[in-house]
Structure 1
């Protein structure tokens, strides 16, 4: 019985540690996304366009009515989430 209680206790500690780490990563991801959005707004306001060679491929897909493939390719190339990729592709069209 004591071993079972000890195992349950260790399990709860591990769960708490993993949950805490995931929460910190999630917060960091949100902060980075917020900063990226702000930088994008600044660049748009200044009329500066970022040019990456791979962006041409994504833009070509988007302009060829292959928006879903463009979003998918953008996510593959950047590691961005679905929402960010969709917003980026929408800006390209």
Structure 2
């Protein structure tokens, strides 16, 4: 039983170390991506350009008006390639 507990503790510790290492690698990339997006937004504003919205986003808005949030999230993910959490948050912002 003591061996089982030690093996389980080692396994949990190994997973924690791997998760921490992955998090350390993704945080700088996320910050870099955010900076690039800000620069692109400023550049487009300077040039007087607007981002063209995909026509299917009107379908997302129509689904939201009908109360079909889950289907709207699905369409949003298809259009943008966003993950589930990101799409859910974006669709909820569109509902406001």
- TM-score scaled by structure 2? 0.55
Equivalent residue for 2:38, pick from 27, 37, 41: 41
Query: How many Å separate the matches in 2 of 1:29 and 1:81?
Result: 17
Q: CA deviation at 1:38?
A: 0.9
Equivalent residue for 2:18, pick from 21, 36, 39: 21
RMSD: 3.6
Question: Does structure 1 residue 78 correspond to structure 2 residue 78?
Answer: no
Native 8 Å contact 1:62 1:70 kept in 2: yes
Q: Structure 2: any 5+ residue segments left out of the alignment?
A: none
Count of residue pairs the alignment pairs up: 83
Q: CA deviation at 1:17?
A: 0.6
Query: How many Å separate the matches in 1 of 2:7 and 2:18?
Result: 17
CA gap 1:16/1:30 in 2 versus in 1, 3 angstroms:
same
Q: CA deviation at 1:57?
A: 4.9
Deviant stretches of 4+, over 6 Å: 48-51
- TM-score scaled by structure 1? 0.56
Q: Structure 1: any 5+ residue segments left out of the alignment?
A: none
